[in-house]
Structure 1
């Protein structure tokens, strides 16, 4: 492989290498495996160059970054690794390669790029200022000066020859090329073109006369009559077939008559009725109707809660009844006084509410007026603030203008100072370089002193720790007496008020157990007594409940018996004929009295015209008639009441007779 391919291969491998994800040793081993088809010298050159570029990446990046800062506008970032490889060869391998091999490598690459980079890198000012300063931040200044800067400065004169050669090649490459001569091309003679012949005039084609033809007959576009005739025939044939079918259905043959005679139908119906009569689908198999009044003879078992709840209910009812009787015995107060007081209080509250509403309305009007005044005051205040703001703004603008004038004046003075300072920049740079070198030397000496001091302190600390460990081991080697005699009657000797011996503790624990046992027995006895009292209370409540239930059942039975007696008496009275006749008579009398009353009302309207004498006589007559009718009604009522009593007596005697038997 030539030098260009070797350098391109190294550049490609640098592009593939990822420092944060790959190890340099494993990457170089993998690269060596991939380059087995190359010669040993080519493999060695690629591996050594790749390894060196990665190991000295910080130094090489410094040079390339400075180069891009100066000439980066005309270069691509893709060529960064190419410049790193060239920088590595020039810095670390120039003595081994020699100027001849190095020149071949450079000439095999892009001449313009190499000329720019080498002219920058082997510039004495760049080496001694930018590059040396940045390298001194990474390594010691003496190491940088002895190992890299001094050898590169020695090669600067020889590199001038290489740069001149590159410049000559660049000059030859930029000369304009001679344009090739054009060959003579033959051209045809410019002869006169012949004129085109005119086209002959077209001949007139004679037209023939139209022959005389007959017109198209009218029957050509007329629909034929045959389809209509066929449709009519189809309709007539269909009607005839339907008529024949109806006749055949109505006039059937006797031998093929499927209908049954009336006698046969009657026999079939009788057979079906006899068969249906033998079926018993509608029979009901029941045990009779249930009893209307069931007597629940099963006892209801009540728990403790139900017993206490029912007993409390009966006690509460009894207390309420006693309180009601006591209030009745003491006399209840009339509610009229309370109602009068309530009415007065309502009127008073209404008056207060109206007064409150009026007060609120007036307060609202007052607050509205105050709000109007406040708004006017706020507007005046805002106007005053706006005036003040305008004045302050004008003052600030004036101050800002004065400040700008001062700043412009200071800027002009600063520009003048900077211009004066540029005149002495070289001397200042040299002085600054000397100061930095002196600072670096002082820092290196100080760091050495600090390192030696730290080493001494670490040695002293280590010796102190060793002595401490030796003492601890000596203490651990001494045997300890672990046997201890215990006396139960002695205390711990901690000088505490609650301190006690083991024997005293045991005695106190025994007494505490006895006390707890006594308390447990007392609690059991108390619980047993409470349980007995509760059972006694429940028994009393049960007796009370059973008594009340018995009384309630007896009262219910009495009320049912009375209700039944009243119903029977009412039925007996309603069934009596005399009572019915009397009721009818009473109804008639009432209707008649009503009729008389209506007549009397009509007569009253007529009496308004009659004299007072006639009115008095009529009034007397009317009073007599009313008394007569009232007496008749009273007699009828007495008769009805007597008949009712007689019927009730008879019914009571019959019932007593039945009860006796």
Structure 2
């Protein structure tokens, strides 16, 4: 309070909320509070200290606290509510009259249209039938899925075809199918109608190469469920083949004659397509020859115009060269004046450099003397510091040598003796930890042996089923090879090439177009031989583009050489006079 005063206290109270500052002043102004404060502070501090430094200041500043309390509780600082905004209507302007009046057109009353029939809003019955069929099919699929999931083991996931990944997947499958037994699989076989077992057919090396072309897809790891599904697929195919054979025996017809007629029609269609392609090709070639003839006529006209432009261009170049000669003579005179000014500048520069060297030598001598004096002072200070450091180190080493070196010995066999449960020595603790490790290793070995035995049982079950499926697959591959050879023969017949004689045989319009095209080609070749400008076109083009440029370049090169020689003779230097300007600017 003595530092900040009454104004500082007033500012502090007004910065805070009015409610909090009022409560604080009420607390300080009450008489009973000072006696209670004194009784509590006496317990901690001395009574004289409390009276002088804590209670006397409060009694001294009590009238100021009461005055501030009255000021805050007065009507001036009471809260006044803010004025509410009064709603006032908008002062809208009267709209201007329309520049163009609304036309007074009477809209005729039309007859009421007929309502649409209710069938437009109703759903057709076909959609409801489709939805019912979808629902039934969905139920069938769900039932089949439930049946397959009953037979499905836990490891029925698809894996990659790599050898290492296949081994790991087979191990996982055999670990997880521990509950499946031979009796469960025999029950599932009764539900599915397996086909009759077929004899295995071995394929030759030639057939195996063809099969490798067919089987380009990645190999999938088979599970117990996939093996049973494959049995079902083969049985359904056998039933279809038997039905076809029964139909042929009862008098059904084959589609051999229809296929032969179809091939003949396809051959005719292809010949007509090739004729149309040839006709389009000849039309394109004829239009190409016509465009070449037009280009030849256009190039001959442009060549005549180019020769006329060359003559005009040469005359203009000669005029420009004469003007440039006069400008070059003026430049030579200016170069002589500049060279003389450079010589005067060099002499003045040498005198300035001599003065600068003298000043630099004097400054170096003074700096060397100052450095020598500073080195002597630094060496003296370093000697004093080294002596102090040596004394301190000697005192520290003597104190360290006087200390006793007591090493506490520990017995590993004794218990700590704190009176706790399960107290043990360090050696006993180590032995118990070793015993725990041995017990864990024994449990792991037992689990590993159980897993290996389960794997061996499951591999035996699956190997029997895979041997039976292999017989069916061998028959399937033979059928695929035969189908491949049949397709190759059909493709060879369909992809047979037709000669030009077959295309031009019965179509005179194509022959007329070909003769007309040959005539145009002969005319174009005769025009090229007769036109000498066509033979030397490369040389003409080069002359038009580059001859004028070469002429100007050689002329300007000669002028530059002559100018260099003259300037070197007059100035007595071995370099170009333009370099004098560069050196003067850099200096």
The verdict on a shared fold, with TM-score over 0.5 as the criterion, is: no
Higher relative contact order (CA 8 A, sep 6+): 2
- When Rg is computed on C-alpha atoms for both structures, the one with the higher figure is 1
TM-score interval, smaller chain: under 0.3
